[in-house]
Structure 1
Amino acid sequence: MLLAVDVGNTNVVFALYDGRKGLARWRIATDPRRTADEYAVWLMQLLAIEGVERSAIERIICSTVVPRALHNLTVLANKYFNVELLVAGVGKADYGIDVDVDSPKSLGADRAVNAIGAHEIFAGDLIIVDFGTATTIDHIDGRGAYKGGIIAPGLNLSLDALVGNTAKLPRIAIAEPATKSVIGTNTEDQMLIGIYWGYVAMIEGLITRMRAQIGRPATVVATGGLAILFNRQEGLFDAIDPDLTLNGLAILAERAEHR
């Protein structure tokens, strides 16, 4: 079995795979100070709940946008699973795709792995919208090459900035508004409209501009933990795959095995 680990700025997601079939997924808050032993105590209990022996884990692959977390995950793989950690973009786990931007080494591992996962499933040009701590919108061409993209503040970052820098605005939960009205009649509704429909408008506008610049039909794929918030907005995305990054890691691990 494969253990895929996606380290984001907010959460670390662990996923168990049999080949490319996802079996289980677990999430823990990102903390670069978390030791391998702490990971192990938490993870072993979850594996036991699934009825999986740790000896069944034959490979572990990781993508991370938090470099400080890598050391403890490497120790976790070596000490508790007796395997060498595969790191996305390094050695046998090299991405194997063209990164056609000014500074290829600056591309986040999650975005490269998203490109791998999406290109495996969808044909032609792709626009990948990843809702994480930041929201990224990336163009992948029909050959699977990464061509560039956009970085915008994430939904929760936007809300944190709004609440943290105003004296009287309350903390609200982000959800789809009850109606499509964009005229709120109380403070909470007005904030939700601004955050939710404002974000929809931003995504729609940026996708429209990116499609025009690409000049060819492009399939829009959404991923990330908050993508599901927008699943009812018809025409916004062609597909939603919350596990795109993890699935891309599973594909990358499979390719690494044959290199």
Structure 2
Amino acid sequence: MKANRHPAALTADLGNSALKLAAWRPLERGAIGAAHPAARATLEHGKGDDPGRLVEGLAAFLDQAAASGAAVQVAALSSVAGPERTAPLVETLSAVLKTRGVELYCGPDHGLANLCDEPHTVGADRLFAARGALELLGRGCVVIDVGSAMTVDAVVAGDPDATEPRGRFLGGAIAPGPWLLAQALATGGAQLKLIEPRAGVPALGQVTGAALESGVVHGLRGAAFELARRVGAEAGLADSVRVVTGGARGLLLDPEPFWTGDLREDPDLVLRGVLAALLERVGA
């Protein structure tokens, strides 16, 4: 018989340049969608980084989590990085967790039916964000994740009374994120400087730098709106909630939201999806 509460868990997401961590207190069953992490951290982790610093950062985070009521019992990692970065991280993270009697699960099954034509090419972050959105809402939606790239994806819930996956990932769109847009302009234009995208810039730029900021920020917002609209319409989710996540999501939300319909923000969407997959994997 399963326990009435999930164990305290660590979820980790390795992206292009950083490792995002969330520690979760023991949860009542069915409470994943409403849960908030007890602790969060983002550790810089690029190729060639000092593993000693990573060990120190991981240990400090686990201590912080324990002090916040999340003494980790199970852990999972999702990664979109290549094997040259993922493998050393798995070794380091496993070693740190082993000293605390915790096993690391790498890439747990997201629990979704991936309906894309080439499912093996879909990034784990897109799938876990979709799973996290289903946990958050309990119904189909369009997910917008703004980071190095901006992804806009559609997911629908499975039948709770049938023995089928938790939901169906329908696919979506991938566009450049704000920093890629800024870098493309700076490298592609002979006299265009690199700008730092920031929320709330005016559309009417009156010097070149301000015009670049406008093009990147308002261009991103316009692309997000149109992709969220078209992806939703083509997926049969025109009137559904749009869920926004990712480190650059503020550009879509400030000073006013990019979407005029039903909109939710969740900074932990990918890690929420990893948590749901982990707890299913360990049968907790």
Q: 1:145, 1:157 → 2: CA distance?
A: 30
Q: How does 1:1-259 map onto structure 2 within 5 Å?
A: 1-19=8-26, 20-34=35-49, 36-48=51-63, 52=67, 56-68=71-83, 69-82=85-98, 83-88=102-107, 93-143=108-158, 144-179=167-202, 182-216=203-237, 217-231=239-253, 232-233=256-257, 235=260, 238-258=263-283
Q: Structure 1 residues 176, 105: CA separation in 2 closer, same or farther (over 3 Å shift)?
A: same
* Conservation of the 8 A alpha-carbon contact between 1:219 and 1:238: yes
**Farther-moved stretch of structure 1 (183-192 vs 146-155):** 183-192
Q: 1:67, 1:130 → 2: CA distance?
A: 20
The Cα offsets for residues 141-199 of structure 1, whole Å up to 9 and x where unpaired, read as 232210111111111011011112223222322112344xx332111221111111111
Q: Structure 1 residues 34, 86: CA separation in 2 closer, same or farther (over 3 Å shift)?
A: farther
Which residue identity does 1:85 align to in structure 2?
L
Q: Structure 1 residues 236, 203: CA separation in 2 closer, same or farther (over 3 Å shift)?
A: farther
Which residue identity does 2:25 align to in structure 1?
D
Q: 1:14, 1:253 → 2: CA distance?
A: 14
CA apart distance, 1:229: 2.1
Q: Structure 1 residues 46, 142: CA separation in 2 closer, same or farther (over 3 Å shift)?
A: closer
Q: Structure 1 residues 48, 214: CA separation in 2 closer, same or farther (over 3 Å shift)?
A: closer
Which segments of 5 or more consecutive residues in structure 2 lack a partner in the other structure? 1-7, 27-34, 159-166
* Conservation of the 8 A alpha-carbon contact between 1:228 and 1:240: no
The Cα offsets for residues 62-84 of structure 1, whole Å up to 9 and x where unpaired, read as 00001323222322243222133
Q: 1:249, 1:72 → 2: CA distance?
A: 20
Secondary structure in structure 1 of the residue aligned to 2:37: strand
Give the fraction of aligned pairs with identical amino acids, expressed as a percent: 26
The Cα offsets for residues 87-122 of structure 1, whole Å up to 9 and x where unpaired, read as 22xxxx222210011122222111111111101121
CA apart distance, 1:36: 5.0
Q: Structure 1 residues 26, 59: CA separation in 2 closer, same or farther (over 3 Å shift)?
A: same
- With normalisation by structure 1, the TM-score equals 0.87
* Conservation of the 8 A alpha-carbon contact between 2:177 and 2:220: no
Which residue identity does 2:23 align to in structure 1?
L
Q: Structure 1 residues 145, 50: CA separation in 2 closer, same or farther (over 3 Å shift)?
A: closer
- With normalisation by structure 2, the TM-score equals 0.80
Instruction: Report the RMSD for the aligned CA atoms in angstroms.
Output: 2.3
Which segments of 5 or more consecutive residues in structure 1 lack a partner in the other structure? none
Which residue identity does 1:57 align to in structure 2?
V
Secondary structure in structure 2 of the residue aligned to 1:61: strand
Q: 1:178, 1:104 → 2: CA distance?
A: 38
CA apart distance, 1:32: 3.7
Q: 1:15, 1:230 → 2: CA distance?
A: 23
